[in-house]
């Protein structure tokens, strides 16, 4: 297979982990006889510094021409700490999602047996936890009408039936591929937009009789994720709730550096780690590249390359089992490895396993 990948390293630790994701994909291509080409493009603070635009036209065109985007992270303190800034790195991420029509964010949440001790929850609660959060990406408050004044500000949480239906269908498709259990998360007892979500979901349930559908208020869902994470199989929710719940879910595994994600829709799909740019770690060779590398596995699965994706996952599992880990997940008194060393080890393992 020939794949053209747009490589968007972004800011902070992004360039460091991007190199390791690329190395893993190149190792897979060599082993399985695929041809992969990369087109690098700017996004986030790096793009603002170079062009004044966090998602310039050239980057959009590179993404549109690609088969997939391998993205890393955006964010920079010089914009975070300036409340008067009118252009921010995160606007590049929102623009990419909107302009590529990426309405569905898929975030798997799983635990690794060798890392259960790192979870803030008791091992008996998290062992075997394995679910997928599906977040609507292009609607709701993030893109609704806004007003910001000195004494009053508001955001509009608007959804249409079409937007709700299409994300629910994604949720049902994933549930059918997994354990056939879908949880719709809303706040229908308070919010009109949530009542639309619940109404549409109730009408669609009959189309998927093979899937158990239940409903949960977002506050209850946030508690249930901590108390009983194994309850969930596939969770689907709106943009703001999804942003919060997926970050909460990432803590279950013990490190945000472990979990990948995919954003799909009508345009070029994007694959990325769920963590941010972690600017404090920039250039220190301590960032965990596993989420970026596992994003490569999700990319391969998207194109039906299941054996290749399994090879990447095995290499990651082997790195954990053999103690080849960055400081955030390393065992006490174990050898220290940096971003480069872990990435190189995994690329070499992909080529040999």
CATH of the domain at 195: 3.40.718.10
In this prediction, residue 247 carries a pLDDT of 85
Of the listed ranges 138-152, 191-205, 264-278, the least confidently predicted one is: 138-152
In this prediction, residue 143 carries a pLDDT of 85
State yes or no: pLDDT of 82 exceeds 80: no
Determine whether 49 is exposed, middle or buried from the number of CB atoms within 10 Å of its CB (0-12, 13-18, 19+).
middle
Domain check: are 144 and 205 in the same one?
yes
State yes or no: pLDDT of 239 exceeds 80: yes
Domain check: are 289 and 335 in the same one?
yes
Which residue in the block uniquely carries the two structure tokens 């059918």? 176
* Band of pLDDT at residue 350, cut at 50, 70 and 90: very high
Domain check: are 338 and 352 in the same one?
yes
Do strands 104-110 and 68-73 pair parallel, antiparallel, or not at all (unpaired)? unpaired
Is position 263 within any domain?
A: no
Residues marked as catalytic: 142, 187, 219, 243, 247
With b meaning 16 or more CB within 10 Å and e meaning fewer, what string describes 218-242? Answer: beebbebbeeebebbbbbbbbbbbb
Is position 191 within any domain?
A: yes
Residues 50-71 pLDDT 10s: 999 999 999 999 999 999 999 9
Could you say which of 258, 286, 320 is where a domain stops?
258
What mean pLDDT, rounded, does the chain reach? 94
**Residues whose CB is less than 8 angstroms from the CB of residue 247 and which lie 6 or more positions away in sequence, other chains included:** 256, 274
Domain check: are 91 and 121 in the same one?
no
* Band of pLDDT at residue 333, cut at 50, 70 and 90: confident
Structural domain total, the chain = 2
In this prediction, residue 79 carries a pLDDT of 84
State yes or no: pLDDT of 305 exceeds 90: yes
Domain check: are 136 and 83 in the same one?
no
Domain check: are 138 and 224 in the same one?
yes
In this prediction, residue 254 carries a pLDDT of 78
Q: Count each helix (H run) and each strand (E run) in the chain, helices first.
A: 13, 12
Provide the β-strand partners of residue 105: 135, 263
Q: CA nearest 271: which of 305, 318, 319, 224?
A: 305
Q: Can you give the residue range of the structural domain that contains 173?
A: 104-148+155-258
């Amino acid at each position: 297979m020939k794949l053209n990948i747009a490589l968007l390293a972004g800011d902070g630790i992004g360039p460091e982990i991007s190199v390791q994701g690329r190395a893993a994909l190149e190792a897979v291509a060599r082993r399985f006889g695929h041809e992969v080409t990369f087109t690098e493009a700017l996004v986030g603070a790096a793009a603002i510094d170079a062009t004044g635009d966090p998602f310039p036209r050239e980057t959009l065109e590179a993404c549109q021409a690609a088969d997939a985007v391998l993205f890393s992270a955006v964010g920079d303190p010089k914009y975070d700490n300036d409340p008067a800034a009118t252009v921010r790195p995160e606007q590049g991420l929102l623009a990419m999602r909107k302009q590529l029509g990426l309405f569905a964010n898929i975030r798997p949440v799983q635990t690794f047996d060798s890392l259960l001790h790192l979870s803030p929850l008791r091992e008996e609660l998290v062992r075997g936890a394995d679910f997928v959060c599906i977040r609507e990406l292009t609607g709701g408050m993030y893109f609704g009408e806004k007003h910001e004044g000195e004494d009053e500000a508001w955001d509009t949480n608007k959804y249409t039936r079409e937007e709700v239906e299409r994300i629910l269908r994604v949720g049902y498709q994933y549930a059918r591929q997994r354990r056939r259990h879908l949880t719709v998360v809303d706040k229908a007892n308070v919010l009109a937009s949530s009542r639309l979500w619940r109404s549409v979901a109730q009408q669609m349930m009959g189309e998927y009789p093979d899937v158990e559908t239940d409903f949960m208020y977002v506050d209850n869902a946030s508690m249930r994720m901590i108390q009983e994470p194994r309850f969930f199989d596939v969770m689907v929710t709106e943009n703001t709730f999804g942003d919060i719940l997926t970050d909460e879910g990432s803590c279950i595994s013990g490190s945000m550096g472990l979990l990948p994600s995919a954003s799909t829709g009508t345009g070029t799909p994007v694959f990325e780690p769920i963590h941010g740019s972690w600017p404090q770690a920039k250039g220190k060779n301590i960032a965990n590249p596993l989420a970026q590398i596992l994003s490569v596995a999700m990319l391969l699965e998207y194109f039906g390359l299941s054996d290749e994706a399994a090879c990447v996952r095995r290499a990651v599992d082997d790195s954990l089992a053999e103690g080849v880990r960055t400081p955030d997940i390393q065992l006490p008194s174990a050898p220290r490895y940096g971003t480069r060393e872990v990435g190189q080890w995994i690329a070499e393992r992909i080529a040999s396993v």
